[in-house]
Chain A
Amino acid sequence: MTCEEIKISLHDYVDELLDAKMQKEVENHLRTCEACFFEYQKLKKFFEDLQNLPYTINPPDDIITLISSELMKRSAAALEEEPVIPSVKIRKIKKEQLKQEKKLRNIRGPRRKSLVTKSLGATQLSKKIASPGRLDFRKTILTLLPLAIIALGYYIYDFTKINSPWKVRLVQGTIYINGRIDETGKWEEGTSIYTESNSRAVVSIPNTGRLEAGANTFLLLVKAKDGNNIVKMERGKIKIENTEQMPDFSIEINRKTIRDRGGVFSLEVDDAKDAKINVELGYIEINRLGKNFYVDEGYECNMPNDNDVGTPYHSTAPDSLKKLIYAVDYLNGGDYAIGKIIEISTESDLLTLLALIPKASESYRTVLYNKIAKVYPPPKSVTMEGIVKLNEYMLEDWWFEIEWQI
Chain B
Amino acid sequence: MSIENTQYVSYLVELAKQGRRNAYFDLCNINLRNVFTIVYRLLTDYELSKKITIAVLLFAWDNIKSYNPKISFALWIKDLAVKYSIRELEKRGEIKLNNSTASNNLPNLEYQIMTLSNEDRIIFVLHDLEGYNYYEITTFLTHLSIDEVKTKLISTRESLIKQFEP
Contacts and interface: CB of A to CB of B under 8 A. Distances in A.
Bound together: yes
For the residues of A in contact with B, the DSSP-based class is helix
A74 B31 contact: no
A92 B8 contact: yes
B9 A87 contact: no
Contacts of A404: 8
A59 B164 CA distance: 28
Interface in B21-37: 21-22, 24-26, 28-34, 36-37
Given A59-B53, A92-B8, A49 B109 contact: yes
Interface in A45-87: 46-47, 49-50, 52-60, 63-64, 66-68, 70-72, 74-75, 78, 80, 82, 84-87
A101 B161 contact: no
Contacts of A49: 109, 164
For the residues of B in contact with A, the DSSP-based class is helix
Interface residues of A, number: 55
B1 A64 contact: no
Interface in B113-166: 127-131, 150, 153-154, 157, 160-161, 164-165
A381 B4 contact: yes
B58 interface: yes
B62 to A, nearest CB: 8
Interface residues of B, number: 53
Interface string A105-135: 0111101100000000000000000000000
Nearest to B73: A100
A67 B58 contact: yes
B6 interface: yes
Contacts of A68: 25
A54 B110 CA distance: 9
Contacts of A52: 107
B89 interface: no
Contacts, number: 140
A361 interface: no
Given A42-B165, A46-B160, A74-B61, A86 B29 contact: yes
A25 interface: no
A59 B33 contact: yes
B33 A56 contact: yes
9 contacts: A49-B164, A57-B41, A71-B58, A84-B21, A93-B26, A103-B72, A108-B129, A109-B131, A379-B7
Given A57-B36, A103-B3, A401-B6, 18 more contacts: A11-B153, A50-B128, A55-B37, A63-B36, A63-B50, A64-B28, A67-B54, A75-B21, A78-B19, A80-B19, A84-B21, A85-B22, A89-B26, A93-B29, A104-B74, A104-B78, A107-B1, A108-B130
Interface of B: 1-4, 6-9, 19-22, 24-26, 28-34, 36-37, 40-41, 46, 50, 53-54, 57-58, 61-62, 72, 74, 78, 107, 109-110, 127-131, 150, 153-154, 157, 160-161, 164-165
The 6 closest A-B pairs by CB, nearest first: A59-B36, A109-B131, A108-B131, A56-B33, A56-B37, A103-B3
